[in-house]
Amino acid sequence: MILTVTLNTALDITYRVRGLRPHASHRVSEVTERPGGKGVNVARVLAALGHEVTVTGFTGGATGRVVQDQLTATPRVVDALVPVTGATRRTIAVVDEHTGDTTQLNEPGPTVTPAEWFAFQEAYEGLLTSATAVALCGSLPPGVPVGAYAGLVRTAKAAGVPVLLDTSGEPLRRAVAARPDLIKPNADELAELTGSHEPLRATQDARRRGARSVVASLGTEGLLAATPEGRWRAVPPARLHGNPTGAGDSAVAGLLSGLVEQLPWPDRLVRAAALSAASVLAPVAGEFDAGTYEELVGRVAVTGEVSAA
Amino acid sequence: MILTVTLNTALDITYRVRGLRPHASHRVSEVTERPGGKGVNVARVLAALGHEVTVTGFTGGATGRVVQDQLTATPRVVDALVPVTGATRRTIAVVDEHTGDTTQLNEPGPTVTPAEWFAFQEAYEGLLTSATAVALCGSLPPGVPVGAYAGLVRTAKAAGVPVLLDTSGEPLRRAVAARPDLIKPNADELAELTGSHEPLRATQDARRRGARSVVASLGTEGLLAATPEGRWRAVPPARLHGNPTGAGDSAVAGLLSGLVEQLPWPDRLVRAAALSAASVLAPVAGEFDAGTYEELVGRVAVTGEVSAA
C-alpha cells in the first residue's frame, strides 16, 4: 500500500451562501463535508486511481470521528490515524453563489502533546513495513517540532521506502537536508527554499540541498522536473477555470502512483499534470473529473532531456 | 421540572478572526462551541437560576452528539432530545477582533421526517406528565408542519401544564389561536402578528387573538406586559453594550422561573428584564453575568396598573 501522512488533518466544510456580507446574517443553502488536509486529499485521489492507501496523522474529537467515518467509507482507503486529546480542526470555505469566490476560515487545530507525537512516530514506523511509498504532506500542527518531517524522512529512508515531501517554510528546509526522494514545491515554496525566483535554477538548487528529485508545480505553466534521470517540463493544453484548491495534491498523487508503478519520468509528469488540471473542475479538493483526466492524459505536452549516464 | 422545546437545536460555534474580508483566507484565533437554539439557551439560564430543566427537540449526527455531551455536562439539565437521521445544524458567529462586529452563518438543519415528528410528539406528551411548565421556542426545522406549535400548545393545555411560546411568523399566528398562557414576541414579531406597530395596542390585540398573557420585549425600552391581572412596563436602568443575542431567551427564562415560583407579575418582569440586560454582557447566548443580574434586580423600574377584579 501507499502511505500518506497528514499531521494537520481537517474536516473540510463548504458552505454556499447568497452574497457574503461582513456583519450580516446568512442562511447557508448547501453544506458539504469532506475529510481534508493535504495527505488525505492525496490519498483520496490515489484510491480513485485504484491504489490501496493507508492514511495516518492525528485525529480527535467529534470532527475527527466524522473524518474517520468518511475515510472508512472510501473504497481502498484504510484509516490509521492516531488519536489525540484535542479536536481535529475544521476548515470552512464560504462560496458566494453570485461571484463564485470563496472566503476561507481555518481553525488552528489541536495542540499535539509530546506523548502523542511519540505515539505517532511509533505507529508510522510500523506502517512503513508494508508501504511501497510514503507522502508527507502539509503544515505541522501546534506542538509538533519543526524538525518533524526531517525525522520522518530519515525513518522512511532507513526502512527503504521512497518518500515524497510536500510542505513549506522551515519544516521543508530542514527535511530537504534529510534527503527525501522527491519534493513538490509550488513556485512560492521553491523560491522561499532556494532564494531564487528562477524555477530552472531553483529546482537544481533544491536538488543540491538534498532532494533527489524536484517537481515544481507552476500553476498554468505546468510542472518542472529536475531529477537524476533528466529534466522535463509538462504543460496541460489549456487553462481550466474552477477551484484550484487541491490541484497540488492531485499532482502529488499522480507522481506517487507513477513512482510505485515504475513509470518513466515523462509518463509520471503527464499523469500528474493531467490529474492536477482535472481536479480544477472538481468542486472539492481530493477529487477530480475523470472524463477530463482521461482526455487530458493524451494532450499534455512534455519536453525535456535525459541526463547523460 | 421545567420543560423546554427546541425543534431546531444547533451547535453554536464562535470564531474570533482579525478582520473578516470576503474572498480572503482567515486564521481563526479562538473557537468556542455551545449547545444552541432558543429553548436550549432558555434551559441553560433556568439551570443557572437553580431550576431543574429537561431539554427536548431533535438531535442528529456528530454535531448532535456534541450538543448532547455538553447538555449532559450542564448541572440541573436533563437531555431528552429525540434522535433524527439528519445532522443537527451548526451556526457560526464570526467575531471580528478589530470591530467586535459579528457575521453569522446559519446552516438550515436536518429535514424532519413524518415518523420523526410523530416520535417527538409521543416523547413530548410523556415529558409533560412531570413538567411544571413548558417553553416552546424558536423556528421550525424543514419537515415540521407549520401548525406544529398550535398542536403542542393544545397538548400542554390538555395536560394542565402552563405553556410559554416564543416564535414568529405563521407558526406563531396559528399557535396563538390555540390559547397559550404566555407569548413573548419582540417588536417585529408583535407587529407581524397584529399588524400594529404601536406596542400597547398590539399587546392587547395579541391577547384578543388567544394569548392569555403577552410580554413584548422592546430592546432598550424593556418589557411590556398585558395580562389578565394587569398591565406593566419594566425598564432596566441603563443601556448595556455587548452581545444582544440571547437577551430574549434570558427574558423567557426569567418569566418562566417567575411563573413556576408563583411570583407576582411585577417581580417576574423585574427578573426577566434584569436577566435580559445581564445576558448582553455575556459572550454567548444562554449565559448571563451573575453580578450584573444581582445588581440590576434592585434597579429595574416597573410601572403599571392592576386590572379591576
Q: Kindly state the average pLDDT of the residues B287-295.
A: 89
Residues in chain B closer than 8 A to A92 (CB atoms) = 92, 105
pLDDT tens for residues B83-94? 999 999 999 999
Residue B308 has pLDDT above 80, yes or no: no
Joined together, the cell numbers standing for residue B250 give 434570558
Residue A17 has pLDDT above 90, yes or no: yes
The one catalytic residue in B205, B249, B267, B289 is B249
In what side-by-side order are the strands of the sheet with A102-106?
A30-36, A10-17, A89-96, A102-106, B25-27
Helices (H) and strands (E) in chain A, counts: 10, 16
Query: Alpha helices, DSSP H only, in chain B?
Result: 38-48, 61-72, 114-128, 148-158, 169-176, 187-194, 199-208, 247-260, 265-279, 290-297
User: Is A106 in contact with B63 (Cβ distance < 8 A)?
Assistant: no
Residue B266 has pLDDT above 70, yes or no: yes
Residues in chain A closer than 8 A to B95 (CB atoms) = none
Which range among A1-10, A290-299, B225-234, B249-258 shows the weakest confidence by mean pLDDT? A290-299
Which range among B72-76, B135-139, B281-285 shows the weakest confidence by mean pLDDT? B281-285
pLDDT tens for residues A28-71? 999 999 999 999 999 999 999 999 999 999 999 999 999 999 99
Q: Which residue of B has its CA nearest to A22?
A: B103
Give the residue extent of every domain in chain B.
1-18+26-144, 218-309
Helix (H) or strand (E) holding B217: strand B213-217
DSSP state of A281: T
Residues in chain B closer than 8 A to A22 (CB atoms) = 20-22, 96, 101, 103
- Distances B182 to B117, B138, B167, B187 between C-alpha atoms, Å: 24, 15, 12, 16
More confident of the two residues B197 and B247: B197
Alpha carbon distance A54, A52 (integer Å): 7
Residues in chain A closer than 8 A to B29 (CB atoms) = 108
pLDDT on residue A7: 96
pLDDT on residue B237: 84
* CB-nearest partner of B106 from A21, A27, A101: A27
More confident of the two residues B50 and B97: B50
User: Is B65 in contact with A62 (Cβ distance < 8 A)?
Assistant: yes
Q: Which residue of B has its CA nearest to A104?
A: B25
Closest listed residue to residue B134, CA positions, set B179, B154, B164, B157: B164
The one catalytic residue in A188, A249, A267, A289 is A249
pLDDT tens for residues B149-166? 999 999 999 999 999 999
Helix (H) or strand (E) holding A276: helix A265-279
Is residue A277 within 8 A of residue A299, CB to CB? The reply is no
User: Is A22 in contact with B21 (Cβ distance < 8 A)?
Assistant: yes
Joined together, the cell numbers standing for residue B267 give 417581580
pLDDT on residue A309: 58
B309 — pLDDT class (breaks 50, 70, 90): low
Mutation for A interface: B105, B107, B111, most A CBs within 10 A: B105
Q: Which residue of A has its CA nearest to B14?
A: A107
A16 — pLDDT class (breaks 50, 70, 90): very high
Is residue B16 within 8 A of residue B32, CB to CB? The reply is no
- Distances B124 to B51, B111, B255 between C-alpha atoms, Å: 19, 19, 21
A91: three-class secondary structure by DSSP: strand
Residue A119 has pLDDT above 70, yes or no: yes
Q: Which residue of B has its CA nearest to A64?
A: B62
A130 — pLDDT class (breaks 50, 70, 90): very high
Alpha carbon distance B267, B4 (integer Å): 22
- Distances A59 to A3, A225, B11, B21, B107 between C-alpha atoms, Å: 16, 34, 20, 30, 24
Tell me the average pLDDT of chain A: 94
Residue A209 has pLDDT above 80, yes or no: yes
pLDDT on residue A100: 80
Mutation for B interface: A23, A95, A139, most B CBs within 10 A: A23
Q: Which residue of B has its CA nearest to A66?
A: B62
* CB-nearest partner of A22 from B28, B31, B103: B103
Q: How far is B251 from chain A (nearest CA, A)?
A: 23
User: Is B15 in contact with A62 (Cβ distance < 8 A)?
Assistant: no
Q: How far is A99 from chain B (nearest CA, A)?
A: 10
* CB-nearest partner of B15 from A62, A101, A105: A105
User: Is A103 in contact with B28 (Cβ distance < 8 A)?
Assistant: no
B272 — pLDDT class (breaks 50, 70, 90): very high
How many residues would you count in chain B? 309
Mutation for A interface: B12, B28, B29, most A CBs within 10 A: B28
Residues in chain B closer than 8 A to A96 (CB atoms) = 22-23
Which range among A13-27, A234-248, A285-299, B37-51 shows the weakest confidence by mean pLDDT? A234-248
Residue B50 has pLDDT above 80, yes or no: yes
Query: Alpha helices, DSSP H only, in A55-166?
Result: 61-72, 114-128, 148-158
What number of C-beta contacts closer than 8 Å exist between A and B? 79
- With pLDDT > 90 as the criterion, what percentage of chain A qualifies? 82
Q: Tell me whether residue B249 is one of the annotated catalytic residues.
A: yes
Looking up cell 498554468 gives A220
Looking up cell 482521461 gives A294
pLDDT on residue A285: 76
Give domain A2-10+36-88+109-306's CATH superfamily.
Ribokinase (3.40.1190.20)
Tell me the average pLDDT of chain B: 94
* CB-nearest partner of A62 from B15, B62, B106: B62
Residues in chain B closer than 8 A to A106 (CB atoms) = 25-28
| Helices B247-260, B38-48: crossing angle, 10 deg rounding | 50
Residue ranges of chain B whose CB lies within 8 Å of a chain A CB: 15, 17, 20-29, 31, 62-63, 65-66, 92, 94, 96, 99, 101-108
Q: Kindly state the average pLDDT of the residues B204-215.
A: 97
Is residue A122 within 8 A of residue A92, CB to CB? The reply is no
pLDDT on residue B185: 96
Residue A183 has pLDDT above 80, yes or no: yes
Mutation for A interface: B92, B111, B188, most A CBs within 10 A: B92
Alpha carbon distance A84, A287 (integer Å): 27
Residue A238 has pLDDT above 80, yes or no: no
Q: Which residue of A has its CA nearest to B67?
A: A62
Residues in chain A closer than 8 A to B94 (CB atoms) = 105
Domain B1-18+26-144 falls under CATH 3.40.1190.20: yes
pLDDT tens for residues B239-263? 777 667 788 999 999 999 999 999 9
Q: Kindly state the average pLDDT of the residues A197-216.
A: 97
A246 — pLDDT class (breaks 50, 70, 90): confident
Residues in chain A closer than 8 A to B25 (CB atoms) = 103-104, 106
Closest listed residue to residue A57, CA positions, set A68, A66, A46: A68
More confident of the two residues A240 and A94: A94
B90: three-class secondary structure by DSSP: strand
Angle formed at CA B126 by CA B263 and CA B133, multiple of 5 degrees: 10
Helix (H) or strand (E) holding B226: strand B223-227
More confident of the two residues A188 and A284: A188
